Structure 1
């Protein structure tokens, strides 16, 4: 990246922060229907400014505590955590990424996307997600992250949680008993909120 390209990214981040601050002044809160708040993580990764990215995600978590986020944003957050040496938090963020969209990690590793029959609000594989998610395990700046992620995803705990999570959501597709459906949803929600790996 040239110094001029880096300056453009720094300006984009500053412009986004300025726009969000203007919203807060104008509305007394954030009305970010354009989704500007999700963009800086991408720019921080491109700049290799992981400390700045972690500062931004800390602000994001405080400012939007109930915001689930989009799969690419959560993935970028995990990259920033990993690059910042916060491996346990990176594992949690990878799990959140998987729960929001189970195709993201396959796309990252270049595995074929095989649509799964599951009850998933963010089933973006058929809605163009695979086109706009541009990260790859072959990117030079992500090689260390890729190796770490591959090892983490091969861990017994991740594999067992993943299998159970998919089983629960596949069960929701066919189960008609309301009491059982409620149980399946509750267990899936508990799995989604697991933060210890």
Structure 2
């Protein structure tokens, strides 16, 4: 990256922070319907400024605690954590990313994306998602992360949790009994929120 490109990315981050601060001043809160708050993580990765990226994600988590967050943003957050040596937190973010979009890691590793029967809308999710997610395991700056991620995703804790997650969502799709659905939903929610590996 040239110094000019670096300066452009630093300016983009500063402009986004300035725009968000202006919203806070104007509205007393954030009305970020443009989704500017999701962009800086990408720029921090491009700059290889992982500590700066983590400062931003801490601010994000504090400022938007109820934000459901997009899968690519969660993925970028996981990369920042990994690159900063925070492996346990990176694993938790990988799990959140998987729960947000089960296709993301297939896309990242270049595997064929198979629609999963757990979602009625799986073909739509597959089509829309593959258009905007641009990261690949072959990117030179992500090779160490890719190797670590691949090892983590075939580990027993991850594969066991992934299998249970998919089974629960399949059962939810087919279950009509409201009491049983409530039980399955609670278990699925607990599993999604279980971040320690």
TM-score, structure 1 length as denominator? 0.97
Aligned partners of 1:101 and 1:124 also within 8 Å: no
Q: Which has the higher helix share?
A: 2
2:26 pairs with 1:26: yes
1:115 corresponds to 2:115: yes
1:67-146 matches, within 5 Å, as 67-119=67-119, 125-146=125-146
Contact 1:20 1:32 in 2 (8 A): yes
Once residues 124 and 135 of structure 1 are traced to their aligned partners in structure 2, the CA distance between those partners, rounded to angstroms, is 20
Tell me the distance in 1 between the aligned counterparts of 2:16 and 2:8: 12
Q: CA deviation at 1:119?
A: 3.6
Q: Output one character per residue of 1:78-99: Cα deviation in whole Å (capped at 9) or x when no partner.
A: 0000000100000000000000
- Structure 2, unmatched stretches of 5+, are none
Residues paired across the two proteins, number: 197
Superposed CA deviations along residues 157-184 of structure 1, whole A, max 9, x for unmatched, are: 1000000000001111111111111111
Runs of 4+ aligned structure 1 residues displaced above 4 Å come to 120-124
1:52 to 2:45 alignment: no
Q: Does 1:43 align with 2:61?
A: no
Aligned to 1:175: 175
Distance (whole Å) between structure 2 residues aligned to residue 150 and residue 23 of structure 1: 40
Q: CA–CA distance in 1 between the matches of 2:116 and 2:145?
A: 26
Q: Following the alignment from structure 1 to structure 2, what is the Cα–Cα distance between the partners of residues 121 and 182?
A: 21
CA distance in 2, matches of 1:112, 1:149: 18
1:195 paired residue number: 195
CA distance in 1, matches of 2:172, 2:183: 10
Q: C-alpha separation between the residues in 2 aligned to 1:162 and 1:137?
A: 21
Partners of 2:118 and 2:27 in 1: CA distance: 39
In terms of mean alpha carbon deviation, does 181-190 or 113-122 score higher?
A: 113-122
Aligned with 1:31: secondary structure? coil
The answer to whether the Cα contact below 8 Å between 1:119 and 1:172 also exists between their aligned partners in 2 is no
**Alpha-carbon distance in structure 2 between the residues aligned to 1:68 and 1:3:** 35
Paired with 2:129 and 2:195, the residues of 1 have a C-alpha distance of 26
- CA deviations 1:55-114 (Å, max 9, x no partner) are 000100110111120000000000000000100000000000000100011111111000
The Cα of 1:195 is off from its aligned counterpart by 1.3
- Unaligned 5+ residue runs, structure 1? none
TM-score normalised per structure 2: 0.97
